[in-house]
Every structure is written in C-alpha cells, then in structure tokens.
C-alpha cells in the first residue's frame, strides 16, 4: 500500500519533470534507498512512473492532484462555514470522520482523500478509488431530528450531486434508487449515509460520496458491474477535479440545510424526474434475500420506492433494485 510519505513523493513528481533520487531524498529527509522503495509502491496507484537509470524519476501524464486551496476557490457562497481537509491516503474518509466524531465536533466538516485504500459502499461492498481519477469525500452533518426524518437523506444527497454535475455541463446523468448515480445504466457514483444518535434526535450523519472521473478500463472490468466515468460523459472535455469537488460540496451544503428545514417532500419531484428506473419493470432484492417484481411507480415523500405489482402498490424502504429481464 502506498504510504502518505510515498504519496508526498508523487506530489513532487507531479510537475512531469525529471527529479533525481538524491534531490527527492534531500527534500523529503529520507535516504535514496527509501525513495526507491517508496516509488516502487507507486505502481499500485496506476500512475505512469518512469525510472531513468542514473538520472532519476519522472511521472508521466500526472493529473492535477487535489489541494485544499484549489477546492476552496470552487466552493462559492454555499461553502461558507465549512471546514475542509484534503488527505493523500486514507482507508476511508467516512471511517476517518466517524473516528474523529468520538472526540470532536465534525458538523460541517468535509474530508477528501486522493486515494482510499478501503472505500466502502452499501451493504459492505468496497468502492474502487483511482489516484487522480476519482472524487472520494465525506462530510459530517448534525440534525436536530431523528433517523425516521432522515430516511430519504441518501436520495437528497444524490440529487445534490446530480444538480452540481448538471450545473457543470454533464448531461444525461440519472439517479437510481436509493443511492446511485448512473449514466446510460452504468454506475457513475454512489452515496453512503451512516447515522448515529437518538431515535428522536439529535442525529449525526456521516455522508460519503464517491464519483468516477477517469476510470481505467482494467478498473472498470474489475468492478463486476457496468460502470462509467465523467470523462465518458464529457466527451473529451477537460475536467478540473478541484473545481468540481468545490461545486459538489457547495451543492451538498445547500441541500442539507434545505433538508433540515423541510425534509424530502419538496425535493421528491426533482428526484423522481431523474430516476433512471421510473416506470420500468424491475426486481427488488430484499435484505433477507426475497425477491419482488413489479413496475416502478415512483417514490413517496419519505423516499420509499413504490412498486406496482398485481394490481397493488407496495412500499420499500431498503433493497437492491435491478432491471427485470424480459
């Protein structure tokens, strides 16, 4: 696994110039042998690192890495009052925020990582993170209300991401109940909300978001389900990850403030217009393994999925949804 110190070497190489092992060692306060070992680990990131014998190291086609200053420039008015930290390497931004919550206030705190080594999705699944090719971040948000009021929070968060992407010119992005962003049926991103607190409130939400920006073909194949990235949606247009992250975080802050005041009901129509599966025949796989088939009839004011089947409409608050095969 690439260490934070190893990642600091990659940042030094991100200018695309040739750097000698001696210069890197001196700047980092370590030995040349350790520089060599750390940069060997860099192959795990998928970045193109050249080792020129007797001359040094060069990083080819390095994307601009995430920086706090560049993200702050992209935040705009919606980002006022937010705390922002960027880490090079973390196991999971959500796990780290949850650990911090035990000893400090994480309300309105945003934590982004250039590389997650153990990113998490729903139902215990992993989340693939690509150095320079992903946006993985989490925010902490405190609500006066309890878990029942926050049942539709993943939908509201997904809608905020979608609105931010639309504002940046990414067309055709849809939402899949309850927490996915998709494009032409392939997964583009996901939301994971973890709640703690009293049943009637207050509650603390740790909101994790992952987006594929540049997903290599090998990574797409390894995911095990149809996946895509913003590069495919942008048709070659340059994507500034720092500015985009700022725009998304600002949209999230606005959405969370609105949700705290009025709940999900005012957002329902906007979410439903973007639902990739609305009106389609689907199969819902329940947490206990049971399966229910029907046609998506919408979502209710609490964010539950409405499924029409056999002349009746059923309501689902959890489960996996897939298109029903003819």
Angle between helices 32-41 and 21-28 (to 10 degrees): 100
Q: How many helices (H) and strands (E) does the chain have?
A: 10, 16
Pairwise CA distance, residues 149 & 305, whole Å: 16
| Domains, the chain | 4-60 (1.10.10.10), 68-272 (3.30.930.10), 277-323 (2.30.30.100)
pLDDT of residue 123: 56
Which phi-psi region, left, alpha or beta, contains residue 84 (left: φ > 0; alpha: ψ -120 to 50)? beta
Tokens of 167: 């504002």
Q: Considering the chain, what is the average pLDDT of its residues?
A: 90
Report d(CA 175, CA 158) in Å as an integer: 7
Nearest to 92 by CA among 65, 57, 120: 120
Whole-structure pTM value: 0.90
Q: What is the pLDDT of residues 30-78, one digit of tens each?
A: 999 999 888 888 766 777 888 888 889 998 877 889 999 999 998 877 6
Q: What does the alpha-carbon distance between residue 222 and residue 230 come to, in Å, rounded to a whole number? A: 18
Contact 282, 322 (CB under 8 A): yes
How confident is the model at residue 7, as a pLDDT?
Answer: 83
Over residues 87-130, the pLDDT tens digits come to 998 999 999 999 999 999 999 999 999 988 887 665 556 667 78
């Amino acid at each position: 696994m690439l260490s934070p110190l190893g990642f600091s070497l990659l940042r030094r190489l991100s200018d695309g110039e040739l750097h000698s092992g001696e210069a890197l060692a001196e700047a980092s306060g370590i030995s040349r042998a350790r520089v060599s070992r750390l940069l060997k680990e860099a192959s795990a990131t998928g970045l193109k690192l050249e080792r020129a014998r007797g001359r040094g190291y060069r990083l080819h086609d390095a994307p601009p890495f995430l920086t706090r200053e560049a993200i702050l420039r992209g935040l705009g008015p919606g980002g006022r009052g937010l705390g922002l930290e960027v880490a090079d390497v973390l196991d999971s931004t959500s796990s780290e925020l949850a650990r911090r919550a035990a000893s400090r206030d994480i309300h309105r705190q945003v934590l982004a990582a250039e590389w997650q080594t153990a990113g998490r999705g729903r139902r215990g699944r992993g989340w693939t993170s690509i150095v320079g090719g992903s946006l993985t971040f989490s925010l902490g948000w405190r609500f006066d209300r309890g878990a029942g009021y926050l049942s539709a929070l993943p939908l509201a968060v997904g809608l905020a991401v979608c609105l931010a992407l639309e504002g940046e010119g990414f067309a055709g992005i849809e939402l899949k109940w309850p927490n996915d962003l998709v494009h032409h049926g392939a997964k583009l991103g996901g939301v994971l909300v973890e709640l703690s607190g009293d049943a009637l409130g207050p509650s603390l939400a740790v909101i994790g978001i992952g987006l594929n920006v540049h997903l290599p073909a090998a990574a797409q194949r390894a995911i095990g389900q149809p996946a895509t990235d913003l590069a495919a949606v942008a048709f070659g247009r340059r994507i500034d990850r720092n500015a985009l992250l700022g725009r998304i975080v600002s949209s999230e802050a606005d959405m969370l403030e609105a949700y705290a005041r009025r709940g999900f009901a005012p957002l329902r129509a906007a979410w439903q217009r973007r639902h990739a599966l609305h009106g389609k025949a689907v199969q819902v796989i329940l947490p206990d393994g049971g399966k229910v088939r029907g046609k998506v009839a919408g979502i209710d004011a609490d964010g539950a999925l409405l499924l029409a089947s056999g002349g009746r409409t059923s309501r689902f608050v959890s489960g996996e949804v897939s298109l029903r095969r003819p």
